[in-house]
């Protein structure tokens, strides 16, 4: 009996550890909500008004119009909910982009669907959405865009509908994962080829003879020219994705990887003008990447965010200990804890200015203030207390905000552990290293720095293990191997 109780207790403890706090989604202003609602109404009108043009108009026609109108309005609402669920920090601009693309597609169906294949209308927007907002949002968008056809007179061929769904789903799934522009180009070539072959097999095989070009057509147009058009529209979409990125604040994987390039001018400046900070940054990238991989977070986002988190130190590199190579410490010279605290806060404020100047996307810029949160500047607070000056503890805290995502919270923890782990004795045991990590993480937790981050207790446990693993790697690297005079090449 005792065994059962303790097992149940253990299970309950494990279950509690895995529970993630409820995350509040971004608030959207009333005006934006109204704009979004009006666009949804417009989509519903465009998708259903043709049903009212049937003469003579009787009750059943009005009823089917009302049904279609409501169906499209509800599906637009579901689409918005899905996008919010997949991207809790989605902005109103991005929601407007998703539904405006739906509006454009419904309008294009009215104007063009009798002349061009629906593949060219639906697949390119799906690529933009999957790149910027993720695969699930793109799949939801594709299903709504494929199911609602505003013109009842145009009956879409069943096989073509199936090919459309398969191609659009492939683009949605791969688009969310693709990590370079080259892979995007490959997608824009292989999907149209796939569409061409499948249309040829399922729709036009009786009509196509590869020898006689004249017969290379089918009732809804030419399979080959439709696929060519799809390839061209997809290539243009890829060309315009950077413009969508800057207008709607989209953060695609390709953009993240471009920003993570260490040859970027701001990162080059950091490595030359603040080499200590650059080294600290690289170590943090390693810690944060491992921890994010453990909890299944966005690795590309944290790698890039970590790279830029301390760029603000460029405003005065020698005021930070890691860049002082034995020279005088300016903080000792001024001997004023208040001014020193202002210099520390400035690395956040100046960092945000650098981010704005270099047009860093918001999710990356968020790492700059959130990695410091509202942490205490312990050393200078202690100094001020020593001088017996009347102080308010809040004067020695960073302005915040505290981390709002799992990734920025991991960066805060990595930032706190990095110096301690680096300073640890090479002979320290794993238990000692884990104790050091746990102490630092616990202090952040107790200070309320992680309460908005949505990290569960189980995830915090995994983060500790990840930091320990990285520390073990660092220690291994630091062990000096004995070199023999005769064997210098091994």
* Cβ(221)–Cβ(263) below 8 Å: no
* 310 or 459: CB nearest Fe ion: 310
- Three-class secondary structure of residue 100 per DSSP: helix
CA distance 85 to 79: 10
CA distance 475 to 287: 13
- Tell me which DSSP letter residue 323 carries: G
Tell me the chain's radius of gyration from C-alpha atoms.
29
SS3 content of the chain, % helix, strand, coil (to 5): 70, 0, 25
Q: How far is the CB of 266 from Fe ion (least distance, A)?
A: 15
Q: Using CB under 5 A, count the residues that bind Fe ion.
A: 2
Q: Which of 235, 267, 12 lies closest to 120, judged by CA? A: 235
- Candidates 289, 350, 415, 459: give the one binding Fe ion (CB under 5 A): 415
* 184 or 311: CB nearest Fe ion: 311
The interface region with Fe ion, picked from 25-33, 214-222, 298-306, 413-421 by CB under 5 A, is 413-421
* 371 or 383: CB nearest Fe ion: 371
Q: How far is the CB of 292 from Fe ion (least distance, A)?
A: 16
Burial profile 413-430: b = 16 or more Cβ within 10 angstroms, e = fewer:
bbbbbbeebeeeeeeeee
The interface region with Fe ion, picked from 105-113, 178-186, 359-367, 407-415 by CB under 5 A, is 407-415
- Angle subtended at Cα 114 by Cα 111 and Cα 116, rounded to the nearest 5 degrees: 90
Q: How far is the CB of 345 from Fe ion (least distance, A)?
A: 10
* 415 or 459: CB nearest Fe ion: 415
- Angle subtended at Cα 279 by Cα 274 and Cα 281, rounded to the nearest 5 degrees: 95
Residue 13: CB atoms within 10 A of its CB come to 10
Structure tokens at 152: 């009842």
- Three-class secondary structure of residue 218 per DSSP: strand
Q: Which of residues 297-336 bind Fe ion (CB under 5 A)?
A: 310
Q: Which of residues 141-160 bind Fe ion (CB under 5 A)?
A: none
Q: How far is the CB of 98 from Fe ion (least distance, A)?
A: 35
Structure tokens at 420: 């301690």
CA distance 331 to 328: 9
* 192 or 373: CB nearest Fe ion: 373
The interface region with Fe ion, picked from 28-36, 92-100, 399-407, 415-423 by CB under 5 A, is 415-423
* 238 or 314: CB nearest Fe ion: 314
Q: Which of 183, 179, 359, 186 lies closest to 257, judged by CA? A: 179
Q: How far is the CB of 300 from Fe ion (least distance, A)?
A: 19
CA distance 469 to 433: 10
Q: How far is the CB of 280 from Fe ion (least distance, A)?
A: 6
* Cβ(254)–Cβ(179) below 8 Å: yes
The interface region with Fe ion, picked from 78-86, 329-337, 411-419, 449-457 by CB under 5 A, is 411-419
What is the Cα 142 distance to its own chain's centre? 20
* 69 or 396: CB nearest Fe ion: 396
Q: How far is the CB of 444 from Fe ion (least distance, A)?
A: 14
Residue 98: CB atoms within 10 A of its CB come to 27
Q: How far is the CB of 282 from Fe ion (least distance, A)?
A: 11
Q: How far is the CB of 318 from Fe ion (least distance, A)?
A: 16
* 363 or 416: CB nearest Fe ion: 416
Q: How far is the CB of 371 from Fe ion (least distance, A)?
A: 6
If binding is defined by CB under 5 A, does position 350 make contact with Fe ion? Answer: no
* 175 or 369: CB nearest Fe ion: 369
Spatial CB neighbours of 218, under 8 Å, sequence gap ≥ 6: 199, 203, 204, 207, 208
The interface region with Fe ion, picked from 221-229, 246-254, 328-336, 414-422 by CB under 5 A, is 414-422
Structure tokens at 140: 């939801």
* 181 or 371: CB nearest Fe ion: 371
* 226 or 415: CB nearest Fe ion: 415
Binding mask 422-441 for Fe ion (x = CB under 5 A): --------------------
Q: How far is the CB of 293 from Fe ion (least distance, A)?
A: 20
Contact footprint for Fe ion (CB under 5 A): 310, 415
């Amino acid at each position: 009996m005792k065994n059962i109780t303790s097992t149940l207790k253990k299970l309950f403890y494990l279950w509690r550890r895995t529970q993630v706090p409820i995350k509040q989604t971004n608030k959207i202003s009333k005006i934006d909500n109204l704009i979004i609602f009006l666009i949804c109404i417009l989509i519903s009108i465009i998708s259903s008004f043709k049903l009212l043009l049937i003469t003579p108009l009787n009750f059943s026609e009005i009823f089917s119009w009302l049904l279609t109108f409501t169906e499209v309005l509800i599906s637009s609402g579901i689409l918005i909910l899905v996008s919010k669920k997949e991207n809790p920090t989605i902005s109103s601009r991005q929601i407007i982009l998703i539904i405006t693309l739906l509006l454009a597609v419904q309008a294009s169906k009215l104007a063009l669907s009798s002349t061009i294949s629906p593949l060219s209308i639906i697949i390119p927007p799906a690529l933009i959405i999957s790149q910027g907002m993720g695969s699930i949002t793109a799949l939801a968008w594709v299903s709504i865009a494929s199911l609602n056809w505003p013109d009842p007179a145009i009956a879409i061929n069943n096989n073509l509908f199936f090919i459309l769904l398969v191609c659009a789903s492939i683009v949605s799934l791969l688009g969310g994962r693709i990590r370079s522009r080259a892979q995007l180009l490959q997608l824009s070539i292989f999907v149209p080829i796939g569409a061409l072959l499948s249309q040829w097999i399922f729709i036009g095989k009786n009509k196509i003879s590869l020898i006689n070009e004249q017969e290379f057509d089918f009732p809804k147009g030419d399979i080959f020219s439709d696929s060519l058009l799809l390839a061209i529209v997809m290539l243009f979409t890829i060309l315009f994705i950077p413009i969508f990125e800057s207008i709607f604040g989209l953060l695609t994987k390709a953009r993240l990887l471009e920003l993570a390039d260490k040859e970027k001018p701001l990162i080059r400046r950091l490595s030359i003008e603040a080499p200590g900070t650059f080294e600290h940054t690289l170590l943090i990238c390693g810690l944060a990447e491992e921890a994010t991989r453990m909890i299944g977070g966005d690795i590309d986002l944290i790698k890039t965010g970590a790279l830029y988190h301390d760029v603000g130190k460029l405003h005065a590199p020698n005021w930070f200990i890691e860049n002082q190579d034995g020279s005088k410490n300016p903080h000792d010279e001024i001997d004023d804890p208040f001014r020193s605290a202002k210099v520390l806060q400035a690395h956040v404020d100046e960092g945000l200015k650098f981010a704005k100047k270099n047009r860093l996307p918001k999710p990356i810029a968020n790492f700059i203030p959130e990695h410091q949160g509202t942490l205490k500047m312990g050393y200078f607070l202690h100094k001020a207390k020593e001088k017996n000056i009347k102080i308010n503890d809040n004067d020695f805290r960073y302005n915040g905000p505290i981390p709002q995502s799992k990734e920025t919270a991991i960066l805060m923890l990595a930032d706190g552990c990095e110096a301690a782990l680096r300073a640890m004795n090479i002979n320290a045991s794993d238990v000692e290293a884990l104790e050091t990590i746990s102490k630092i993480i616990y202090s952040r937790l107790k200070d309320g720095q992680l309460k908005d981050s949505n990290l569960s207790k189980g995830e915090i446990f995994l983060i500790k293990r990840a930091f320990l693993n990285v520390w073990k790697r660092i220690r291994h690297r630091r062990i000096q191997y004995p070199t023999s005079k005769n064997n210098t090449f091994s």
